[in-house]
Every structure is written in structure tokens, then in C-alpha cells.
Amino acid sequence: MAAKNTGGSTAVQPNPESAAGEPLAPPPPAAPAVATETTVSFRPGLEGVPATQSAICDIDGNRGILTYRGYPVDQLARQSSFLETAYLLIWGELPTIFQLRDFEHEVKMHRRVSFRIRDMMKCFPASGHPMDALQASAASLGLFYSRRALNDPQYIVAAVVRLIAKIPTMVAAFQLIRKGQDPIQPRDDLTYAENFLYMLTEQEPDRTAARILDACLILHAEHSLNASTFSARVTASTLTDPYAVVASAVGTLAGPLHGGANEDVLDMLEEIGTIDQVEPWLDRAIAAKQKIMGFGHREYRVKDPRAVILQGLAEELFTRFGTDPMYDLARALEAAAAGRLGAKGIYPNVDFYSGLVYRKLGIPRDLFTPIFAIARTAGWLAHWREQLGANRIFRPSQIYTGYPERTWLPLEQRPLPT
């Protein structure tokens, strides 16, 4: 039974037809029934507190299984494409051949960004972080597509296509602009990942490299109610436009406690230096209660399933393009950590090997998190749609810890600080 819309909600049922006569997107599943309210104690960071019900992603942290709409992520990474996976996440079902063809075509047709957005990006300081540039650029889309019609299925589909299509173009454009170059226009003959690598590197993309990047995007596309996804749902609950929703999520992902850990993994490996220093370094770090970057996850008690897949992708990449001594260092660190931290359920997470993959692809280190954002846009949009389907604006309570009621004093009567 569908949950009742409350609190000024807007139910959205996007299902326009494609050129082939099939719906571009299947109708969304009925919203799950709302659970009865329970009283919970204060938990910092809302750890373990259910904030919503969702049918998008499930994590079995004890067995190391991650599913998107019921499909294991390892199957998707091996057999699907990022755009097919994005379709699955956003619309709820795998597309037919006609739906996928039309979705891919629409994304290709909307990759370009307005010259006004490119001119705006040229005003950004070259020293600025790409995540800040991406947040500002994503938010600016709301100025160019200002019509807000959350009840219109065509509006929903158009917004999804625009954001999936344009976010990679914005990331690549800022990379070239900060180097003093003009952005490269997208090419319609290239796949999603191939086109991004082409715009980023100004070179013809290697098919193997593009396929591995595409799999990386799948692995980062969704991961339940993390900080940026929660931010997206809170913003969506106000019924603002989807560009503000994604910009809000990008700003949250930019924080060092959320995105950027794969950059820190490379910094850590460089600090360790050589394989013979792995165990002494690790013992010192554990004794000092120092965080081991790329290890541990609040959701998993075993090795992150995405890390397992990424390690395989890294090995494939090194076989194709040559080895990386830092990978041997990473494997030695994982082996040493297993004996020291495995009993505590601390194993490599998605960040441990992803940075090595991006490094081998020639991607600048400060673009690792923007690539995370490219992928996670699919998950954010899936949660945006789901939030609209049974909306209630977020308004959690707080536990007040300040002064009791007191009387205002005129300025001359206020005591001076001691």
C-alpha cells in the first residue's frame, strides 16, 4: 500500500513515452508503508537511526553484499554499463533495449553546457578546488532551467538527463580551464566513460581504460543513506529544484570526512614508502590510534565488496598498461592489516584501491572526488525521485542544552567579562 503524501508533498509519476513507443521509464514502485513512530535516545550523527524508508540500495555488512534495486553490484560492474545502472537506480527497473537506447541518446544530446556556464567557470580561481567549481556550476543549471514542475513527468525526465549528461562535462571543463585552455566539446560517437576521458585528457580514449572507469562509476553510484545522500533528500524534501538538490549533495561530498579518502590513501602509501616499512609504519599508526586510510567502514564487518572488485580492476589495468609499485605496497599493507585489524572487522573499503585505478588512468588527484560525484549523481537523483514520491519535509527534533529562560538586561547593566 502506498504511503500517504503529507506535509505539502507532491507525488510524481514520470512515465513519458520514448520514440520507440515504449515508456522511457517504468512507473515507480509504490512507496513502502510508513513504520510506526518509536522513541529513540540521542545518537550523535544519527548513527543507526532510520531517517527514511528506501527501495534503492541494500547493504549486508556482515556478508559483504551490496545490491542496487536487488541486483548485486558485482554483477552490474561485470555485465552492465554506468548508464544502464543509472537508469536502474533512478527508475527502479532494468531498461528494455529500446529504453536504454533512448536514454543513452538523450544523454549524448545533452552533454554540452551553455557558453555562459563555461564563461562563469573561467572566472573561478585556478587554485580553487574542483569540487567547489562543480557545486557552483551544478547550482547554476537552475538559472538556465528555472521552470520547476515537479508534477510534470517530462520535467523529471529532462532534469535527470541534464544532470547525468552535464556533470562530467563540467568536471572536464574546469580541469582544462584551470590549465589555461578552452574546454573540449563532447563527442557523440563516444560512450559515457570514453567521452569523459576524451574531454579530460584531450586524447583518443583507450577502450579498456574507459570500460574500467565505467565499472568504477557503477561501484560509486549509490550506497544507501550516506551524508551526501541524506543532504540530497533533506534538500529534496523542501520541493526545490533538482539542480539545488545535486549541488547540496556535491557540497556535502566535498567534506574531508566523506569524499576524498582515496586521495588520502595515496598520501599514506607515499608516506610508508617501501614494503619493508609497511609493518613498522602500521604498528606505529595503531599504537598512536591513527586512522588507517582506506580501511574500515561503518556498514561492513568484512572487506567492502566494492574494494574486491576494484582490486581486480586495478590488476587488469596494470596488466594492460604496466605495473605500479604503489599497488604492491597496498597489497602488503592489506596483508599486514588483516592480522592486526581483521578481528575488529576493519578491512579495505572502496577508497583503498580506487585511487590507484584513477592514478593509473592519469587522472589528477584532486579530481578523484569529482569523479565520485559524477557517479553518485545517479544515486542522488534516485533518492530525489523517491523522496518526491512520498514526501514529508525533514524536521528532526533536538535536545536543548542551553540556558533556561532568562531576562534581557540593558547594555549598561551587563557585567563586564572577568
Tell me, yes or no, if 188 is annotated catalytic. no
Query: CATH class for domain 261-360?
Result: mainly alpha
Assess contact for 384 and 58: CB atoms under 8 A.
Answer: no
- Name the catalytic one among 214, 223, 351, 383: 351
Catalytic residue among 102, 214, 241, 297: 297
Asked whether residue 13 carries a pLDDT value surpassing 50, the answer given is no
At 68, which helix (H) or strand (E)?
strand 65-68
Q: Go through 3-18 and write b for each residue having 16 or more CB atoms within 10 A of its CB, e for each that does not.
A: beeeeebebbebeeeb
Provide the strand spans (E) within 272-320: none
**Higher pLDDT, residue 38 or 46:** 46
State percent of the chain over pLDDT 90: 85
Render pLDDT for 312-360 as a digit per residue (tens, 0 to 9).
Answer: 999 999 999 999 999 999 999 999 999 999 999 999 999 999 999 999 9
Please check the confidence at residue 393 and state whether its pLDDT lies above 70: yes
Region 1-27: what's the mean pLDDT?
44
CATH 1.10.580.10 fits 88-255+365-389, yes or no: yes
pTM of the model: 0.89
Cell reading at 194: 570514453
pLDDT tops 80 at residue 17 = no
Alpha-carbon span 397 to 42, nearest angstrom:
10
188-244 pLDDT, tens per residue?
999 999 999 999 999 999 999 999 999 999 999 999 999 999 999 999 999 999 999
Domain boundaries defined on the chain: 88-255+365-389, 261-360
pLDDT recorded at residue 317: 96
Q: Is 297 a catalytic residue?
A: yes
Residue 256 has pLDDT above 90, yes or no: no
For residues 365 and 356, give the distance between their C-alpha atoms in angstroms, rounded to a whole number.
Answer: 10
Residue 37 has pLDDT above 80, yes or no: no
